[in-house]
């Protein structure tokens, strides 16, 4: 078995794809003609988006994300946390935590994407020895 994708339920799939393309430099892999489903290329596992409207038509009631009370986060690793944090803000993210050095040897920062999902932008964890 492989971990294939994570799907975020969003208001506007095209807007979400564009945000992650601009904010984090990800590449669009697929957008369905309906505009209700799309994917970003992120390596072996895809980050996908489904419209809330589509999920509701399938009998689901997706909860609204809340970056102040998250139940999960998605994380993106970079060697330039400060630059990526600023790029995310310029693309429309809301700041949650400015970049900071953590005691375990990593730089972390957090933003909320336009739908309210918590996104971590971090450096690789330094090898403690």
- Domains of the chain, residue spans: 5-57, 74-122
Tokens encoding 114? 């336009």
CA geometry: angle 126, 88, 94, nearest 5 deg: 105
The CATH superfamily assigned to 5-57 is: 2,3-Dihydroxybiphenyl 1,2-Dioxygenase, domain 1 (3.10.180.10)
CATH architecture of 74-122: 2-Layer Sandwich (3.30)
Transcribe the chain into DSSP letters: ----EEEEEES-HHHHHHHHHHHH--EEEEE-TTSSEEEEE-SSSEEEEEEHHHHHHTT--PPPP-TTS-S--EEEE-S-HHHHHHHHHHTTPEEEEEEEE-TTS-EEEEEE-TT--EEEEEPPPPP--
CA 118/CA 67 separation, integer angstroms:
5
Q: Is the pTM for the entire model greater than 0.85? A: yes
36-40, 108-112, 123-127, range with the lowest pLDDT: 123-127
Residues 72-112 have pLDDT tens digits of 999 999 999 999 999 999 999 999 999 999 999 999 999 99
For the cut 80, the answer to whether the pLDDT of residue 60 exceeds it is: yes
């Amino acid at each position: 078995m492989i971990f294939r994708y994570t799907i975020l339920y969003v208001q506007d799939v095209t807007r979400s794809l564009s945000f992650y393309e601009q904010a984090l430099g990800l590449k669009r892999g697929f957008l369905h003609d309906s505009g209700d489903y799309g994917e970003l290329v992120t390596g072996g596992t895809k980050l996908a988006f489904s419209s809330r409207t589509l999920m509701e038509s399938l009998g689901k009631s997706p909860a609204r994300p809340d970056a102040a009370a998250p139940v999960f986060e998605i994380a993106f690793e970079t060697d330039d946390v400060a630059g990526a944090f600023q790029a995310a803000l310029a693309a429309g993210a809301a700041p949650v935590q400015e970049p900071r050095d953590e005691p375990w040897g990593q730089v972390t920062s957090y933003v909320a994407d336009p739908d309210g999902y918590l996104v971590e932008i971090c450096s690789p964890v330094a090898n403690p020895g």
